[in-house]
Chains A and B, each alone.
Chain A
Amino acid sequence: MSVRPEIPSAAAPRPRWLRIVGVAAVVSTAATVWLGLWVTPPDKIQGNLVRLVYLHPPIAWVALYLAFGLAALSSLLYLWRRTRSLFWDRLAAASVEVGVVFNALTLATGMLWGRPTWGVWWTWDARLTSTALLLVLFVGYLALRRVPADPEVRARRCAVAALIAFVDVPIVHFSVIWWQTLHQGATVLNSNLSPTIHGSMAWTLLLGFIALTLVFVWMVGVRYRIEVLADRTDAEHLEVSLAERWAEGDLDIAAIAAIAATNASNGGTGASLRPPTRVGP
C-alpha cells in the first residue's frame, strides 16, 4: 500500500546558513558597488573605466577557478566508488550552472571593457578565446544534463562528460597560446592592464573577490537545493499522480456501484460490482 507522499517543498526548509550567506553576499556586493563607484578615484589613464577592475577579475575568478574547479572535483568524487553519492553529482551540476553564468558574464564585462580601451569588442587573444571555448564546453554539459534519464545514469554520464571536458581545458589553453605566439605575437592583454593598485583600490578589489565568492556560494547553495527538490519531485510525482488517479477511480467505481446497486434492487444482476478497498489515506 502506498502512502500519499508529502509535498516536497514543505518537507525541506531552506537551511539557515544559506540565508546568512545570502545576506552577507548582498551586503558585501553593495559595499563593493559603493566603494567602486563613489569612494575610489578614477584611473590616470583609463579614467572611470578602471572601475571595471572591481568586477571583471572577481567574476572571472569565480567562473574559471571556483565554479569549474569545484565541478571537476565533485565529478571526480562522484566517479570514485568510495565517495559515490548523488551529493557530488548535484554539487557539480549546481556549480557548472552558476559557472556558465559567470563565464558568460566574464566575457560580457571583458567586452564592455575592451571596446573603449582597445577599440574592439573582441580580439583573438589566447585568454579570450579559451574562455569562450570553455563556455561552449560547459553549455554542452548542461545540455547533456537536460536529457531525461534515471538520476544515477545521468549522474555517471555527466560526471564522465565533465571530466572529458576538463581534460580539454589545459590543451585548449596551451594550443591557443601557441597559436597566438606563433601567429601574431604579444597582444593587448599581455601588456600590463592592471597596474599596481594602491590603497582604497586594493581594498575594493579584495572586497569584490569576497563579495562574488559569497554570491557564488549562495547561488550554488540555492541551486543545489533546487536540484534536490527537483529530483524528489520527479521521483514522487508519479506516486502522487497515481494516488490521485486511484482516488478519482474510487469515486467513479463507487458511482457505478451505486447505479448497479439500484439496478440490483430493481431486479438486475449488478450486485457483484463492489467498490474496491480504498488505496491511500
Chain B
Amino acid sequence: MWRDALLVAGKDLRIELRSRVALWQVLPVAVLSLVLYAFALGPVRQTLASAAPGLFWLAVLFSTVLATQRSFAIEAGEGTRDGLRVSGIDPAGVFLGKAAAVAAELAVLQIVLWAAMTLLFGVHLHTVWLALVASFLATIGLASAGTLYGALSAGLRVRETLLPLLVLPVLAPVLLAASRAWSGALTGSVSSGLSWLRVLGPFAVVYLVIGIVLYGPLLETA
C-alpha cells in the first residue's frame, strides 16, 4: 500500500512539476485572494492583522478545492482512471498517494501564502511550532477529505460546481480550528491554540481512515 502510494504521489507531483498548472494558476489565485480580502476589509493594519489567520486559512481552503479538482482533472482523459484500476494498485494506495500529492502542494502553497501575508498584512508568528503542528494536521485533513470528494465527483459533468458545495461544509471545522490555532500562535496564547489541535487531529485521522476504507468502492463508481 505504501509503495503504491509513493508511486501515485510521485506520478501526480511529476505531472504538476511539468505542467506547472498548480504553480502558475492555483498559487497566484491564492495570493490574489489575500489582496482581495485586504480590499474588502480596508487598509487598516490592525483590522488586517486580527483577521489574518482566518483569511489565510480561507485562502488555503479554496485552494484545496482547486487542487483536488486539478488532481482528478489530470486523470479525466484517456482512460487514466481505468488504467490505474487495472494496474493492480491498491485503491488505498491510490488514495494515500493522491492525498499526499495534494498535501505537498498545499504545504508549498502555505509557505508562499505565509510569506505574502507577512509582507502584506505585517503579521509575525509568535509561536512557530504551534503554527507548524496546526498546519501539518490541517493539511492532512484538508488533503484527505478533499481527495475523497474529488474522487466522488470525478467524471461528473457538473464536478466544478458540485465539488465546492460538497467539500466546503465538510472542511468548515478545519477552517475554524486552524484559524483559531494560528491566531493563538500569532498572539502567543499557546494554551488556547493547543486546544484546537484536538479538532484538527481527529479530523485528519478520521478522514484518512475513511479514505483508506472507502476509496475502493468509490473508484468503482466512476
Contacts and interface: CB of A to CB of B under 8 A. Distances in A.
A179 B183 CA distance: 13
Contacts of B202: 171
Q: Which residue among A140, A156, A176 has the maximum number of chain B CB atoms within 10 Å of its CB?
A: A140
Contacts, number: 82
Contact of B210 (A157, A163, A172): A163
B177 A175 contact: yes
Query: Per DSSP, are chain A's interface residues mostly helix, strand or loop, or mixed?
Result: helix
A160 B165 contact: no
Interface of A: 79, 133, 136-137, 139-140, 143-144, 147, 153, 156-157, 160-161, 163-165, 167-168, 171-172, 174-176, 178-179, 182
B162 interface: yes
B162 A147 contact: yes
A139 B145 contact: no
Contact of B162 (A144, A163, A171, A175): A144
B176 A179 contact: yes
A168 B199 CA distance: 11
A157 B156 CA distance: 11
Contacts of A171: 173, 199, 202-203, 206
Contact of A160 (B156, B207, B218): B218
Interface string B179-222: 01000000000001001101100110011001000100110110
Given A79-B217, A156-B221, A182-B192, A137 B176 contact: no
B96 to A, nearest CB: 17
B206 A167 contact: yes
Contact of B217 (A137, A156, A176): A156
Contacts of B165: 136, 139-140, 143
Contacts of B220: 156
Contact of B152 (A157, A176, A179): A157
Given A137-B169, A143-B162, A164-B148, 14 more contacts: A133-B169, A136-B169, A139-B165, A140-B165, A140-B166, A143-B165, A147-B158, A147-B162, A156-B220, A156-B221, A157-B221, A164-B145, A164-B214, A182-B180
B172 interface: yes
A175 B173 contact: yes
B170 interface: yes
Contacts of B95: none
Q: Which residue among A136, A157, A182 has the maximum number of chain B CB atoms within 10 Å of its CB?
A: A157
Interface residues of B, number: 34
A156 B215 CA distance: 11
Given A140-B165, A160-B152, A175-B177, A167 B196 contact: no
A160 B162 contact: no
A49 to B, nearest CB: 31
Given A160-B214, A163-B214, A137 B152 contact: no
Nearest to A135: B169
A167 B192 CA distance: 25
Nearest to B215: A160
Contact of A144 (B145, B166, B177, B214): B166
A53 B217 CA distance: 44
Contacts of A174: 199
Nearest to B211: A164
A163 B210 CA distance: 9
B56 interface: no
B149 interface: yes
Nearest to B173: A175
A161 B166 contact: yes
Q: Which 3 A-B pairs have the closest CB atoms?
A: A175-B173, A140-B166, A136-B169
8 contacts: A136-B165, A140-B162, A143-B162, A153-B221, A156-B218, A171-B206, A178-B198, A179-B176
Contacts of A178: 195-196, 198-199
